[in-house]
Amino acid sequence: MTRSLSVLAIAATVTTSLTLGPAPAGAQTTTPDRSSPTATTAPVPGPVTPPDQVSTSPAPSSTAPSSPAPSQTAPSTTPSATAVPGEMSEDLAELARLSEEAGALGEQLHLARGELDRANGERVRLERAAGVAAGRSALADGTARRDQSIVDHLATMRYRGGDTGATRAAVLAESPRDLVDRLDTLRRLSGATTSALDASRAASRDAVQLREEAARSAAEARDAARVAQERTDALARRTEEMRVRMDEVRRRVDALSDAQRDLWIGGPVVPEGYVAPPVDDVNSAALRVALSRLGAPYSWGATGPSEFDCSGLMVWSYAQEGKALPRASQAQAVAGAPVAMNDIRPGDLVIYFPGATHVGMYAGDGLVLHAPTYGVPVRLEQVDAMPIHGIRRY
């Protein structure tokens, strides 16, 4: 299988090469072989390959083992393995670094937008809760005032009626029947007064509690609004920073010479001999969808169907199979189920770099499908060509 490396993989090794410094006097140096597969001139790909044009028939064992371990295609750790000519290495490495930073910032922005959406959702929820609490508090205040007015009315009746005790009733009764009626009235009036007084006290307590609840809800809503505004402002600042970095990367990539552009693309989009795995579950079906986007251009923040960034390609591919994925690579790195490298299967997401700032989809045969960066189309390359942060299955 023809070996090729995208700019992200080149950056990982070229940066190492640059940090080694010049060779000591008298030391033997090796001139990179321009005919190496990693330096193969690759034309800018044409239209996106339909899924039915990606080979699914069994490949001969000499070109693609049926179930290879990713380590079978592990790239060399020698800095010269990138085959980047010496006079271009520093420029391309710097551009790759800028591109990686822009991509990482883009993924952080996706994550920040998700956090902002959640903060705004919490703000709306708390504002509604504060409104409900205020309404309940007002209702409780009204109930307390009504019950108190009943208590006041009953007290007035007792006052105007003078002594309403049993002795007074017995003295004033004109007959035994009249005495029974007077005592019954006395009991009902006393009971009504007691009930009204109890209700008034309970309503007053409820009103106090609900006023406190309304105040807390209002304070929480104000805090949520403040947090949402702070995140909105921070997102605006980072979006502007992202725009500046994107413009710089675009300008420098667009100014590359033909030879530099070939190195930037990093080889063929589909390595020779690659055979797509069969579709036998949702994950492999999502991979087949993603394979249909081979050659599609990279665009920061894009989620398809014709342009993608790295996490956007994952989201779009799985969405076609009815499965929702988080938007940012950092969120994709913690959702789903963790998978060990020796258990990796087609359709699994491979998260790269310490900050989980890049993501691709395992395509079988030791390869990963991903959208690398601006100027490099959606492509396949060795799964371990970049430092792996983790693997997740959805």
Please write the tens of the pLDDT for every residue from 232-288: 788 788 778 878 888 888 899 999 999 889 989 988 999 999 999 999 999 999 999
The pLDDT value recorded for residue 159 is 59
DSSP assignments along 309-320, one per residue: -HHHHHHHHHHT
CA distance 272 to 68: 16
Give the span between the Cα atoms of 95 and 34, in whole angstroms. Answer: 20
Check residue 114 and give its pLDDT: 80
What was the pLDDT predicted at 4?
56
The answer on pLDDT for 225 being more than 80 is: no
Region of poorest pLDDT, from 87-91, 219-223, 278-282, 333-337: 87-91
Overall residue count recorded for the chain in this entry: 394
Q: Which of the two residues, 388 and 94, has the higher pLDDT score?
A: 388
Residue 333 region by backbone torsions, left for phi larger than 0, else alpha for psi between -120 and 50, else beta: alpha
For the segment 368-380, the average pLDDT, to the nearest whole number, is 96
What is the structure's pLDDT at 276? 97
Quote the pLDDT of residue 53.
Answer: 47
Q: Kindly state the average pLDDT of the residues 370-383.
A: 96
**Percentage of the chain lying above the pLDDT 70 cut:** 62
Mean pLDDT is lowest, of 64-78, 139-153, 174-188, 379-393, for 64-78
Angle at CA of residue 181, ends 171 and 148, nearest 5°: 100
Query: What pLDDT, on a 0 to 100 scale, did the predictor assign at position 381?
Result: 95
Does residue 123 register a pLDDT over 90? no
Cα distances (angstroms) measured from residue 179 to each of 37, 172, 173, 176, 304? 116, 8, 5, 5, 91
Domain 7-99+270-393 indexed as CATH 3.90.1720.10: yes
Annotated active-site positions, please? 310, 358, 370
- Which pLDDT belongs to residue 135? 78
DSSP per-residue letters across 328-390: SHHHHTTSSEE--GGG--TT-EEEETTTT-EEEEEEETTEEEE--BTTB-SEEEETTSS-EEE
Q: Which of 67-76, 204-213, 363-372 has the lowest mean pLDDT?
A: 67-76
**Looking at residue 142, what is its pLDDT?**
72
The confidence score (pLDDT) of residue 86 equals 41
DSSP code for 48: P
Taking residues 282-309, report their average pLDDT: 96
Determine which of 85-89, 105-109, 329-333 has the lowest per-residue pLDDT on average.
85-89
pLDDT at position 9 is 66
What is the arithmetic mean of pLDDT over 35-43? Answer: 33
Per-residue pLDDT, 354: 93
